Chains A and B, each alone.
Chain A
């Protein structure tokens, strides 16, 4: 903390010091200027004295003495102005040792008057400035500062007597100083300088001593003034304020306070007034504080009471809320987990029921996102209930016209189908809950049970099924009417277990009784067959029986119930079928052997044909050729033509045999089914055909991506034949267009080969696929008529079918399928 005194005195002191420094400096500069002026004036005066002396010597003394001593004489002590003035000032200098008064020249007569370099500079200045007569400046002499005044002396006419030609000068002068020094001067030339120089230091020192004294006095005065101010300030302001502050600090530490102002303070000035005012204010504050404390205590008590009440209230409310929350939680979990679909509606107008909420089970009925239906009307939720009694019931319950309702209803829309047990009840004004329990399964079970009972009745009647029950304990047996009929007994006859056992075929009875015993001991139902001898006609009947056990609560079997079927007819039929099957198998085996033999024969036949049948043909052809070549000259044209015919026919025969063998090979070949790329196969064949018929204009259109399962070797033969035929039968067209692809015929996929060739009359369609069957003349379209037979054989071996559609000159389409069965 800085005291007021400090804060007040510091700036005040700084300002005072700065001001004092300024005053001192101004005083010093003024005194210096005065001193310089004084020195200047002194110098001027000394100069004037000097000049006056010299003038006087030159004008008055010199002529007077000259007159006395004669013209030839020269007495410097009296006649030389220089000499005289120097002598005078030598005396002056004794009193004022620092003062310099003298005459100098650059070429003095008396060497004493020789100019210093400084003075030579001044002489030079006057020579260059003829109009200048005097000059004042500060110079240094022997390291001391001087204020110097220079006056120039120029040669005048009357000077020339002593300074012109030495002949004119007094003899004594020449005799004393020689005939050269100081002679031969010109009029107007600078003769020399009068110099007066006064040392600056003498004046400055005197002044400085005076100034320092004055400064000391001034400093002391200022110090005294400051001290005084500090003391007064401290006594009047600082000390009292400090006392007050200390007092306040002391009383602040105390708890009991009577006064704020120290007792020693009376009302003297503003500070005292302030303290007393403080005191009064404090009194008031204390009174206020006391009353405030009282009020605070009262309020605190009030608040404590209120707080207590509030706590009680909060606790009550929390308990109530917890109870409510638990209850709501319980209710919610019931609603959420209930398997019954719950819908909550609010009646918004007389007829408008709006869905306000659902539970998860409702999702199963009204869809997976029931939230989207919230806010919708009940008609939107159950669109198919629109205008039904069910909705009216809901509305009536909501209006309060009806009490709680319960009914069953079927409901069906695109989302759901089922039977529901519906409960509708009011949960508040215009608010209802509608609970739907899915009873579809129960309804279906009921329905199924009804249907089942009905079917059972029908079945027992139709199947000639008898129902029996055996009471194990009493050994009594109960039969229905059909049982009696089946066993050829009268219905009146009482039935027992031994009686029944008697009727069983002797060979089966042991086995049947074992089964029955097992049913009782192992509590196991079973099926078993046996024969009976029918009582009415003594015939053997086949019976199929089913038995099922009924046990009491201890697990003891009490009854065995079951049915009997008379399966005699079925047994006989089975027997018949078995016999027929055996015969059939035998026949198949026989036929297979026959077929194998036939196949082997066919094989060896083909082999033989292959080897032996062509050799003679080749012979015929060879010999014919030999004849043609060897006897060419001896045969006439006709004979040669005949031989050519023989050769052509022979070759055709060879072709026929080849084709027949191919056909037989197709029949005999083993099938090797594999995935086939039909498109690739067809494209490959097309390429070869194009190469075989380079001069034909063939346009093949082959559908990409055709693939199937089959024997590729055989399919190549089939497709080669079909596409080759297409090429052959389009030979009369300028451009042949041949397509291979897949299409649908009567909704079933079929491959097809289509051409724009000669076509054929559909009347011959049946003959197409027979061997050696030809529709066209060989001269028009050559061929053996075996190709299509081969194709058909291949398609059939694939389990497929082939047929054709055509019109004369409109082209033909051959359709085929592979593996019709799949």
Chain B
């Protein structure tokens, strides 16, 4: 069954708040789950640490991943997601301020599904987040997740 959650990995409180604001506006706030660093993101996905009790058969529909994160960097998180059998098909959208070519190349090399730049103009940012939310929650189709034995 398709996940209904979007996992946002974002350490900047401002950005987190603003994303939440957009999701509230478009009535998808209940579908948004926010973690604030890379380690927590991995705990959430694999049901470890603080998220040991989470039902890991329920994977989010998509992960919005910032690159610059405390503890474990965004790219490392992406690498581990792709390395694990449970999450290797999980859609990951990189959401970053950077427009550096090396970031783009590395992200795509590690298997990012999309790379979206966070523009300074917040109106544009709002539009981008809205479209991403709609797209990944409502439009995108995924293969059935493989259950663990």
Are A and B genuine complex partners? yes
State which residues 609-635 of A face B: CB under 8 Å.
Answer: 610-612, 614-619, 621-626
Q: B100 touching A618 by the CB < 8 A rule?
A: no
A618 touches B119 (CB 8 A): yes
Cβ contact within 8 Å between A625 and B122 = yes
Report the nearest B residue to A624, measured CB to CB.
Answer: B122
A650–B119 alpha-carbon span in the complex (Å): 11
Check A626–B18 contact: CB distance below 8 A: yes
Contacts of A20 in B (CB 8 A): none
Q: Across the interface, do A654 and B67 meet the contact criterion of CB distance under 8 Å?
A: no
Q: Which one of B33-41, B91-99, B135-143 is at the interface?
A: B91-99
Within B32-91, the residues touching A (CB, 8 Å) are: 67-68
Q: Across the two chains, which residue of chain B brings its CB closest to A665? A: B101
Q: Please determine whether B97 and A625 come into contact, CB atoms closer than 8 angstroms.
A: no
Whether A373 is near chain B, meaning CB under 8 Å from some CB there, is: no
In the bound complex, do residue B98 and residue A618 qualify as a contact, i.e. CB atoms below 8 Å apart? no
A593 to chain B, nearest CB (A): 22
Residue A653 interfacial (CB < 8 Å): yes
**Distance A625 CA – B122 CA, assembled complex (angstroms):** 7
B123 touches A610 (CB 8 A): no
The 8 A CB mask of B118-140 against A (1 = contact, 0 = none) is 11111101100000000000000
- Residues A650 and B98 in contact, CB atoms below 8 Å apart: no
CA distance in complex: A665, B99 (Å)? 10
Find out whether the CB atom of A618 lies under 8 angstroms from the CB atom of B99: no
What chain A residues lie within 8 Å of B123 (beta carbons)?
625
What sequence of 0s and 1s flags, for each residue 653-666 of chain A, a beta carbon within 8 Å of any chain B beta carbon? Answer: 11101100100010
Do B120 and A651 touch across chains, with their CB atoms under 8 A apart?
Answer: yes
- Distance (whole angstroms) from the CB of B64 to the closest CB of chain A: 15
Q: Which residue of B lies closest to A619 (CB)?
A: B14
B30 within 8 A of A: no
On whether the beta carbons of B14 and A621 are closer than 8 Å, the reply is no
Which residues does chain B contribute within 8 Å of A616, judged by CB atoms?
14
* Shortest Cβ distance from residue B7 to the other chain A in the assembled complex, whole angstroms: 20
Q: How many of chain B's residues have a CB under 8 angstroms from any CB in A?
A: 22
Q: What interface size band does chain A fall in?
A: 20 to 34
Collect the chain A residues with CB atoms within 8 Å of residue B120's CB.
614, 617-618, 621, 650-651, 653-655, 657
Among B14, B67, B122, the one with the most A-chain Cβ atoms within 10 Å of its Cβ is B122
Question: Are B15 and A610 within 8 A (Cβ)?
Answer: no
Residues from chain B with Cβ under 8 Å of A611 in the complex: 67-68, 96-98
Q: Is A241 an interface residue (CB 8 A)?
A: no
Cβ of A19 under 8 Å from chain B: no
A120 at the interface (CB under 8 A from B): no
- Decide yes or no: A658 and B99 within 8 Å by CB, A619-B14, A621-B120 being known contacts: yes
Identify the closest chain A residue to B125 (Cβ): A618
- Distance in angstroms between the alpha carbons of A612 and B119 in the assembled complex: 13
A453 CA / B103 CA spacing, docked (Å): 74
Q: In the complex, which residues of chain B have a beta carbon less than 8 angstroms from the beta carbon of A650?
A: 120
Q: How far is the CB of B31 from chain A (nearest CB, A)?
A: 21
Q: Are A618 and B15 touching (Cβ within 8 A)?
A: yes
A709 to B97, CA, bound (A): 34
Nearest CB in chain B: distance from A626 CB, A: 7
Neighbour of B99 across the interface among A610, A612, A622, A625, CB < 8 A: A610
Would you call the interface of chain A mostly helix, strand, loop, or mixed? helix
Question: A606 and B100: CB pair below 8 A?
Answer: yes
The number of residue pairs between A and B whose CB atoms lie closer than 8 Å in the complex comes to 69
What's the least CB distance linking B70 to chain A, in Å?
13
Q: Is B12 interfacial (CB 8 A cutoff)?
A: yes
Q: A607 an interface residue at 8 Å Cβ cutoff?
A: yes
Q: Which residues of B contact A665 (CB under 8 A)?
A: 100-101
List of A residues within 8 angstroms of B96 by Cβ: 611
Q: Bound complex: CA of A619 vs CA of B21, how far in Å?
A: 13
Question: Which residues of A sit under 8 angstroms from B97, Cβ to Cβ?
Answer: 610-612, 614-615, 618
* Residues in B neighbouring A624, C-beta threshold 8 A: 122
How far is B15's CA from A623's CA once the two chains are assembled, in angstroms? Answer: 10
In the assembled complex, how far is the CB of residue B19 from the closest CB belonging to chain A, in whole angstroms? 10
CB interface residues, A 627-680, toward B, < 8 Å = 647, 650-651, 653-655, 657-658, 661, 665
C-alpha spacing A618/B117, complex, angstroms: 12
Question: Which residues in B have their C-beta under 8 angstroms from that of A612?
Answer: 68, 97
On whether the beta carbons of B99 and A661 are closer than 8 Å, the reply is yes
Check A654/B21 contact, CB under 8 A, given A611-B68, A622-B125.
no
Which chain A residues lie closer than 8 Å to B68 at the CB level?
Answer: 611-612
Please tell me which one of the listed residues A610, A615, A651, A661 contacts residue B14 in the complex, with CB atoms under 8 A apart: A615
Q: Cβ of A619 and Cβ of B15 under 8 Å apart?
A: yes
Contacts of A651 in B (CB 8 A): 120-121
Q: Are A615 and B18 in contact (CB under 8 A)?
A: no
Q: Which residue of B lies closest to A606 (CB)?
A: B100
Asked whether A618 lies within 8 Å of B21 as measured between CB atoms, the reply is: no
Q: How far is the CA of A821 from the CA of B144 in the complex (A)?
A: 62
Q: Which residues of A contact B99 (CB under 8 A)?
A: 610, 658, 661
Q: Apart from A611-B97, A616-B14, A618-B18, what 18 extra A-B contacts exist at CB < 8 Å?
A: A607-B98, A610-B97, A610-B100, A611-B96, A612-B68, A615-B12, A615-B14, A615-B97, A618-B120, A622-B15, A622-B18, A622-B125, A625-B122, A626-B21, A647-B121, A647-B122, A651-B121, A654-B119
For the complex of A and B, list the 8 residue pairs with the smallest distance between their C-beta atoms, beginning with the closest: A654-B120, A619-B14, A622-B122, A610-B98, A621-B122, A622-B18, A614-B97, A625-B122
User: Interface of A with B (CB < 8 Å)?
Assistant: 606-607, 610-612, 614-619, 621-626, 647, 650-651, 653-655, 657-658, 661, 665
User: Could you list 24 examples of A-B contacts with CB < 8 Å?
Assistant: A610-B98, A610-B100, A610-B103, A611-B68, A611-B96, A612-B68, A612-B97, A614-B120, A615-B14, A617-B120, A618-B119, A621-B121, A621-B122, A622-B18, A625-B123, A625-B126, A626-B18, A626-B21, A647-B121, A647-B122, A654-B119, A655-B120, A657-B120, A658-B99
